[in-house]
Structure formats: C-alpha cells, structure tokens
C-alpha cells in the first residue's frame, strides 16, 4: 500500500495588509491541532503569546487522540462531565449536524480510525466492517444533559472538523479585547481575518503550493476543506480524510475543495466539511436555504462554483483554466 499523507500546510496567503502597516507587527508560528499555525498581528502589544496559549489549551481539551483531553475521556468512558469549551462546541456541533442533515457528523470518529487516518496505518475496511461503522454514525445518539455528555456503545466523537473554527472565534474575541488594529491568523487552512480588508489566495488542489484565485474580503473566517490535505492511495485510487457519514467511506462525489467565508468561524469550518460531503447540487440547495456564508467549490471536471455575493470579489489566478460558475441565491 502506498501511504501518502499530505499534512495540512500553511497554504494561504494574504496579499495586502496596507491599512495595518502603520502599527508594530508581531508574528508567531507553532504547531497545534495537528497542523502548523502562523499569526500576524498589528498593534497587539504582545498578544501573540496569549493567542498561542489559547490554541494549545483548546488542542489539549478537544483532541480525540490526546489521552489527556476531555474528548478522549468521553470517548473512552462513554460518558463525561465536560467544561465550557468542549460542551459549547459539542452543543453547537449537534445543531450544525441537524442543520446539514448529518453531512457534518462528529460521530464519524470510529470510521476515521478504521481507515487509519489517526494512526497513519492506512487500510480499507471490508464491506461488513463498513456497514457496521456506518450504522454507528449518528449524531442523534449523542445525549447532552446539562454538563454531562453520553455516547452509545461503540460511538466516539471527533471535533477535528470544527475545532480550528472555534479557535478562530476565540482568537477574534481575544483580539477584540486587545489594542490590536488588525491581524491575519492562519490556523492551518482556517484563516481569521481581523480589522481590515484582505485579499486571500485560495489553494489549488491540483497544486496545493499555488493558488487558483484570490478573494477580496473583509473581516471574517475563511475555511477550506480539501481531499488533498490528507489522503492515501492504493491501486491508483485516492482515499481522502473527509468521510460520508452515510457510508463511512471517503467522499467520492467529484468535489476537490470547498472554501467557506463567514463571520462565524465554527460555521465556516463545519460547512467546509459538510458542503464537501454534500457535493455541488446539495451544497447549492443548502446555500439557497441558509444565510450567513458564501462558498467557493471546485469539482474534478474543472468547474469552480462561486456564490453570487462574493462572485465579483473573486478573481482567477493568471493561467488558471477552471471554468467559473455563479451560484445564485
Ligand atoms: P476539515 O478539514 O475541517 O474538513 O475536517 C476534516 C476532519 O474532520 C477529518 O480529518 C476527520 O477527522 C473529521 N471528519 C471527516 N469527515 C467528517 C464529517 N463528515 N463530519 C465531521 N467530521 C468529519
Ligand atoms: Mg471543517
């Protein structure tokens, strides 16, 4: 088996920060949440240390793999009393699962493990195993009673698809209470843009070191989900880390990447995963029936779908041959 893991890299670029440049710049780079994060803050007066500490704190609380985390304890014992952050994010995740009709479902964790995405020992589970895994994926089985959370037997949760979005929201609050004038926090594929207008490059899945285009946007959170971020290949087939909760198998619906722009970080992060699972037709219907976000979705036939609100603020990179399609509300 050929094992290929393309760990999420810092692949985003902010092209213009001109309005920030009259204040002192502070930067930091570190690993958290299984990715590389890089921070750039203007006028923050030492705030990077606080932001980094919050990233490590949330990582330690929310990681399913870290044996000291609250989520690990919940998964191991089937029940746990949780503190503020983990509880808040589980409650929010349950609402988002319901809103996306289970396309985003944190109970995919046993399936994520069975495919080897946590251990790195990649394998294709047999049909019977997949059926059993798929039957156990169901966010409606997670029960929350006050601060006490319980899971049914064989269930376990994974907040990996929303943790960076939650961190982005937390960082926005920290920045809001500081003297920082503006900031760009690259939290590993989830970017917080704070205090100014920005132009952001969107990574090209065909060449993740480059960009297929640029989005001009104001404050908010830009989150991208892509199969290219983590996958393995066997017999010429690529198996990606985003799973369809209905089948427990890697998504294989022609979607290559989904980028969401929203002022709500958790929403951005959850929907980048959920719309990837939905594919372009269901994603379009979802967009037409819900507010508070925009998307850029690339399919494997070279079509780049951009929602109408941001369509005029998006430009294709020179030489990019993807075919632009406007998605109407
Ligand atoms: P993201 O990069 O935000 O799309 O998150 C992907 C990560 O979330 C994966 O590496 C898994 O740990 C987990 N995951 C995979 N599929 C799903 C899904 N359908 N719903 C929720 N979490 C998922
Ligand atoms: Mg996500």
CA 30 to chain centre: 18
> Six-digit token pair at 240?
């990606």
In ligand 1, the atom with minimum distance to the C-alpha of 274 is 19
241 lines ligand 1 (CB under 6 A): yes
Gap from CA of 235 to ligand 1 centroid (Å): 24
Q: How many CB atoms lie within 10 A of CB 291?
A: 7
272 lines ligand 1 (CB under 6 A): yes
In ligand 1, the atom with minimum distance to the C-alpha of 270 is 3
Gap from CA of 23 to ligand 2 centroid (Å): 32
DSSP category for residue 248: T
Spatial distance between the Cα atoms of 112 and 248, rounded to a whole number of angstroms: 8
Which residues have C-beta within 8 Å of that of residue 59, sequence separation ≥ 6?
Answer: 32, 33, 66, 163
First to last CA, the chain: 44
What pLDDT is stored for residue 180 in this prediction? 93
Which residues have C-beta within 8 Å of that of residue 298, sequence separation ≥ 6?
Answer: 205, 212, 255, 256, 257, 258, 304, 305, 322
Gap from CA of 64 to ligand 1 centroid (Å): 12
Residues whose Cβ atom is located within 5 A of ion ligand 2: 161, 269, 272-273
HSE, CB side, 13 Å, CA atoms: give it for residue 135: 8
108 lines ligand 1 (CB under 6 A): yes
Spatial distance between the Cα atoms of 272 and 181, rounded to a whole number of angstroms: 28
- In what order do the strands lie in the sheet containing 303-307? 25-32, 35-42, 182-186, 190-194, 220-226, 255-262, 294-299, 303-307, 323-327
What pLDDT is stored for residue 12 in this prediction? 44
Q: Whose CA is nearest to atom 15 of ligand 1?
A: 242
What pLDDT is stored for residue 14 in this prediction? 54
Question: How many degrees, rounded to 5, is the angle at CA 177 between CA 70 and CA 291?
Answer: 70
What pLDDT is stored for residue 8 in this prediction? 32
Gap from CA of 3 to ligand 2 centroid (Å): 23
Residues in the chain: 329
Using alpha carbons, select from 176, 329, 181, 179 the residue that is nearest to residue 263.
Answer: 176
Q: How far is CA 108 from CA 59, 105, 199, in A?
A: 19, 6, 34
What pLDDT is stored for residue 19 in this prediction? 63
What pLDDT is stored for residue 17 in this prediction? 58
Gap from CA of 180 to ligand 1 centroid (Å): 32
> Six-digit token pair at 35?
């990715």
What pLDDT is stored for residue 10 in this prediction? 33
From the first residue on, what is the mean pLDDT of each consecutive set of 10 residues in the chain (329 residues)?
Answer: 31 53 87 95 92 98 95 97 95 98 98 96 98 97 97 96 98 95 93 92 86 93 93 96 98 97 98 98 98 98 97 95 96
In ligand 1, the atom with minimum distance to the C-alpha of 109 is 12
> Six-digit token pair at 199?
């132009």
70 lines ligand 1 (CB under 6 A): no
């Amino acid at each position: 088996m050929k094992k290929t893991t393309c760990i999420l890299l810092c692949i985003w670029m902010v092209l213009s920060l001109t309005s920030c440049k009259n204040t002192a710049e502070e930067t930091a780079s570190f690993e958290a949440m299984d990715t590389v994060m890089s921070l750039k803050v203007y006028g923050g007066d030492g705030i990077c240390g606080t932001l980094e500490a919050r990233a490590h704190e949330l990582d330690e609380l929310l990681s399913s793999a870290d044996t000291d985390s609250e989520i690990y304890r919940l998964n191991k014992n089937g029940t746990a009393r949780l503190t503020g952050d983990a509880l808040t994010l589980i409650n929010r995740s349950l609402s988002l699962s319901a809103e996306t009709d289970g396309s985003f479902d944190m109970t995919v964790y046993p399936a994520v493990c069975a495919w080897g995405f946590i251990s790195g020992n990649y394998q294709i589970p047999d049909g019977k195993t997949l059926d059993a895994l798929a039957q156990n994926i169901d966010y409606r089985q997670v029960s929350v009673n006050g601060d006490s959370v319980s899971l049914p037997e064989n269930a376990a949760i994974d907040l990996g698809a929303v943790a960076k979005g939650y961190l982005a929201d937390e960082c926005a609050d920290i920045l809001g209470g500081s003297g920082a004038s503006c900031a760009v926090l690259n939290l590993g594929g989830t970017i917080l843009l704070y205090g100014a207008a920005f132009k952001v490059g969107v990574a090209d899945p065909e060449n993740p070191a480059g960009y297929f285009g640029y989005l001009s946007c104001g404050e908010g959170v830009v989150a991208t989900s892509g199969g290219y971020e983590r996958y393995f290949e066997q017999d010429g087939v690529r198996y990606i880390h985003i799973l369809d909760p209905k089948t427990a198998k890697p998504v294989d619906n022609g979607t290559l990447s989904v980028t969401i722009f929203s002022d709500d970080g958790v929403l951005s992060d959850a929907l980048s995963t959920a719309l990837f699972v939905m594919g372009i037709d269901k994603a379009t219907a979802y967009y037409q029936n819900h507010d508070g976000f925009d998307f850029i979705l690339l399919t494997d036939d070279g079509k780049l779908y951009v929602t109408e609100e941001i369509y005029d603020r998006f430009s294709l990179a020179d030489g990019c041959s993807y075919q632009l399609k406007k998605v109407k509300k």
